[in-house]
């Protein structure tokens, strides 16, 4: 194949990343601490506002794991989790020896269904165990129904872990995603809205909680000249090199969110007169998505028999990456034995949904190629 590959979402540097990385080398701060780590945390804290205390970590998964530890999730506890998400939202529950309880999505934001959530909480309590935490996700950058989920969490006094891995730059009622959880997490993996090549962050509500997270992420060393430990620690801190990339990326975050939103508009226009294809969009103006990935749902009955899979294969044959939506966790072999509450919203989205190339670095030429394949398929 002679054409270059068009990716779903690839790293997009702004320009100053190398400057910060060079600084790290010049001062020999090539370690999991240093001025870039502090600088990146400060950048994130001032961006998020709302009294956020940020700890930079090696991954979003590590941040979720530490969030559950801070919320005292232990062996045989139950933790509620959105079913339609990336497996990293749920895996840390199992790291703790706890049991995931999966919840269906609602069809407006594709995120945790408040009705199924309340049903699950009541049923788990009636079976003798109150869930320890609720892991809610802003999928593809679309904020979940924050008010509804928060109200239920408060009623039953269960903390929310806000998985904001895909939603840095999104807002709900004007407030930034990453500030709604009792603890929130971010990811800077290579395919996310900004990247540190690999990395994540925990967003805490107090400096004490942040310090505890950082303590655990650096092997839980007690204050002593020798290595002294009273708790089990982890090696989860972000390096000063990665944080340098993050500082450069924070300078262009807003710009890249706008470019991703332009990609979403491009697909809205492309499919505007096409029956049977819906572009995933905000339900109303309370929601502002970073449109990390642009997604569509195909209804073959109305789209002249075109299916999600046919479209995916046609794009693939032209060296254009696209991918089915997240396969819900309750349908994954590894979680087959876990309780599930809700209907078939997530399952149907998985059957008919497709993520399309969404990067902030796609050129006019790339868009033309995508458009011509899609037009041919239609």
Ligand X SMILES: *Cc1c(COP(=O)(O)O)cnc(C)c1O
Residues numbered 131 to 160 that lie near ligand X (CB under 6 A) are 137
* Residue of 70, 146, 165, 241 that binds ligand X (CB under 6 A): 165
Q: Residue 189 Cβ, how far from ligand X at the closest point, in Å?
A: 4
Name the residue whose CB lies closest to ligand X.
60
* Residue of 11, 60, 246, 342 that binds ligand X (CB under 6 A): 60
- Contact between 9 and ligand X by CB under 6 A: the answer reads no
Q: Residue 16 Cβ, how far from ligand X at the closest point, in Å?
A: 22
Q: Residue 145 Cβ, how far from ligand X at the closest point, in Å?
A: 17
d(CA 213, CA 203): 10
| Angle ∠(342,344,350) on CA atoms, nearest 5 | 125
* Residue of 53, 86, 234, 267 that binds ligand X (CB under 6 A): 86
The count of residues in the chain is 378
Q: Which is nearer to ligand X, 32 or 369 (CB)?
A: 32
- Contact between 93 and ligand X by CB under 6 A: the answer reads no
The CA-atom distances, in angstroms, between 243 and each of 45, 125, 249, 304, 356 are 14, 42, 10, 49, 29
The CA-atom distances, in angstroms, between 138 and each of 86, 128, 348 are 11, 30, 18
Quick one: which segment of 55-63, 246-254, 276-284, 370-378 binds ligand X (CB under 6 A)? 55-63
* Residue of 169, 200, 248, 357 that binds ligand X (CB under 6 A): 200
* Residue of 59, 170, 209, 217 that binds ligand X (CB under 6 A): 59
The CA-atom distances, in angstroms, between 28 and each of 25, 31, 42, 240, 331 are 5, 8, 21, 10, 48
Total residues in contact with ligand X, by rule CB under 6 A: 14
* Residue of 163, 182, 347, 366 that binds ligand X (CB under 6 A): 163
* Residue of 9, 36, 83, 85 that binds ligand X (CB under 6 A): 85
Binding site for ligand X (CB under 6 A): 59-61, 85-86, 88-89, 137, 163, 165-166, 187, 189, 200
């Amino acid at each position: 194949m002679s054409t270059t590959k068009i990716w779903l979402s690839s790293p997009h540097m702004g320009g100053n990343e190398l400057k910060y990385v060079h600084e790290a080398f010049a001062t020999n701060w090539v370690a999991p601490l240093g001025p870039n780590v502090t600088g990146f945390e400060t950048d994130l804290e001032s961006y998020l506002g709302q009294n956020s205390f940020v700890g930079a970590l090696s991954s979003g998964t590590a941040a979720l794991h530490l969030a559950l530890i801070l919320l005292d999730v232990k062996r045989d506890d139950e933790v509620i989790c959105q079913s339609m998400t990336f497996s990293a939202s749920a895996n840390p529950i199992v790291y703790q020896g706890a049991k995931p309880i999966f919840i269906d999505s609602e069809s407006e934001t594709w995120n945790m269904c408040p009705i199924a959530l309340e049903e699950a909480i009541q049923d788990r309590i009636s079976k003798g165990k109150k869930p320890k935490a609720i892991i809610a996700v802003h999928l593809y950058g679309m904020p979940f129904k924050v008010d509804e989920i928060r109200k239920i969490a408060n009623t039953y006094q269960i903390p929310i872990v806000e998985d904001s891995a895909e939603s840095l730059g999104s807002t709900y009622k004007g407030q930034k995603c990453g500030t709604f959880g009792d603890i929130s997490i971010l990811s800077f993996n290579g395919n996310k809205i900004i990247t540190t090549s690999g990395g994540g962050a925990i967003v805490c509500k107090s400096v004490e909680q942040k310090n505890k997270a950082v303590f655990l992420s650096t092997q839980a060393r007690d204050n002593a000249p020798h290595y002294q430990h009273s708790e089990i620690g982890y090696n989860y801190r972000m390096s000063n090199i990665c944080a340098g990339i993050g500082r450069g990326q924070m300078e262009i975050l807003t710009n890249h969110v706008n470019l991703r939103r332009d990609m979403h508009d491009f697909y809205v226009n492309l499919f505007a007169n096409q029956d049977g294809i819906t572009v995933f969009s905000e339900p109303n103006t309370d929601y502002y998505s970073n449109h990390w990935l642009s997604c569509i749902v195909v209804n073959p009955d109305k789209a002249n028999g075109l299916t999600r899979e046919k479209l995916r294969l046609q794009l693939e044959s032209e060296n254009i990456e696209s991918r089915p939506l997240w396969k819900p966790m309750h349908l994954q072999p590894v979680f087959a034995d876990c309780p599930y509450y809700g209907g078939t919203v997530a399952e149907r989205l998985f059957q008919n949904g497709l993520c399309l190339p969404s990067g902030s670095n796609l050129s006019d030429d790339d868009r033309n190629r995508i458009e011509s394949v899609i037009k041919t398929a239609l």
